[in-house]
Structure 1
Amino acid sequence: MTEINIQVALRTGNLDDAEAVFEIQKEVISENEFMISVIEEFNETTEQQRSWIQTILENERETIIVAESKGKVIGLIVFRSENTKRLAHTGHFFIMIKKDYREMGIGKLLITELLNWAKQNPLIEKVSLGVLSTNHRAISLYKSIGFIEEGRKIKEVKFSEELYVDDILMYKLV
């Protein structure tokens, strides 16, 4: 991993980030490598993104954190919680970083910030994620931060008639 040689600021996302978040999601999904969704399925609008962000901001068990460089959003991490009483102490996250800003440590910064938020939130006890078994860089990062594999969904994602990929489930107690 390359050291960060750019200035990066982390902050809670807001409604003004909707367009930038939307563009990052489209970019990462269109890479078609490590996402379950394909770009044809991503039919959101900027206004729908604003509404989605609003629901996250209104829920004390959820958050969106963005990474900025030179005033431009370059990455994000979103933590969504479960709505049932017996699962309300847990949630899962996804992370997306613009391609030009990967391998700089920004993912680790975002995850560390999320874990700090979760530790300070008395409602959250467990942070979970799913990662494709082919995403070796991400798996290595998650393990280095202390995430533990708790299971696999075997052949969960079908990329083609010949290519299936496992969905690895990981967690960290906070």
Structure 2
Amino acid sequence: MGIIVTEKEYLIRHGEWIDAEAILKIQRTVIAEGDYLITLAEEFNHTLEEQQHWINNILRNERETLLVAEIDGELIGFLVFQSPERKRLHHTGSFSIMITNEYRNKGIGKKLLEVLLQWAERNPVIEKVNLGVFSTNYQAISLYKRMGFVEEGRKLNEFKIAENEYVDDILMYKLVKGRQLGRRS
């Protein structure tokens, strides 16, 4: 699929099934940090075979994409965009980003998101890009707002962090084509 963007320090390209092991390593590392993710480390048990199967399914679906960021041949982060199976939701999809700790706050997440939005604009089916974010993840929320995402709703106390400690799930979206959202009469 080739390189999409080459920056001075890193490149962004479409992910491939051979990236499964490196993506799995990133997921395990980021999930173990425990910040801003639904999945706990003890819940994440993907095998390499399952990871390869997951990636192959994404690569076969025209409404989905996997982008990876690498430096000197080493994967340092990825973005995955997945679209629901239901036909009435085919025009939508949600993404998640994971970047290793040492490469955060260097513009890599923003660049991955820019490439996703360009891909979505060219995709013949995708019209709306969605995400969910912990209400305490101020840095991510700020980035999403700068990228044109708006809050669509909120699931109050959706995530239980500890006894009597809850966090809202902020739902955000950006239209990449199609009519403006609004209530139908």
Which TM-score band applies after superposition, normalised by the shorter structure? over 0.9
Tell me the equivalent position of 1:156: 158
Shift of 1:33: 1.1
Indicate which of 10, 27, 30 corresponds to 1:28: 30
SS in 2 for 1:172: strand
Tell me the equivalent position of 1:124: 126
Q: Deviations over 1:3-53 (max 9, x none)?
A: xx9611010000110000000000111111110110000010111110000
Counterparts of 1:53 and 1:112, CA distance in 2: 21
User: What letter matches 1:169 in structure 2?
Assistant: L
Tell me the equivalent position of 1:74: 76
Tell me the equivalent position of 2:183: none
SS in 2 for 1:134: coil
User: What letter matches 2:11 in structure 1?
Assistant: A
Contact 1:90 1:126 in 2 (8 A): yes
Question: How does the TM-score come out when normalised to structure 2?
Answer: 0.90
Q: Which structure is richer in relative contact order (CA contacts within 8 A, separation 6 or more)?
A: 1
User: What letter matches 2:66 in structure 1?
Assistant: I
Segments ≥4 residues shifted beyond 6 Å: none
Tell me the equivalent position of 1:99: 101
1:26-65 correspondence to structure 2 within 5 Å? 26-65=28-67
SS in 2 for 1:100: helix
Counterparts of 2:74 and 2:14, CA distance in 1: 14
Structure 2: unaligned runs, 5 residues or longer: 1-6, 177-185
Question: How does the TM-score come out when normalised to structure 1?
Answer: 0.96
Counterparts of 1:41 and 1:108, CA distance in 2: 28
Identical counterparts, % of pairs: 57
Counterparts of 2:72 and 2:144, CA distance in 1: 27
Structure 1: unaligned runs, 5 residues or longer: none
SS in 1 for 2:63: coil
User: What letter matches 1:31 in structure 2?
Assistant: E
SS in 2 for 1:131: strand
Counterparts of 2:64 and 2:93, CA distance in 1: 8
Q: Deviations over 1:93-139 (max 9, x none)?
A: 00000000000000000000000000000100000000000100000
Contact 1:6 1:69 in 2 (8 A): no
Contact 1:77 1:95 in 2 (8 A): yes
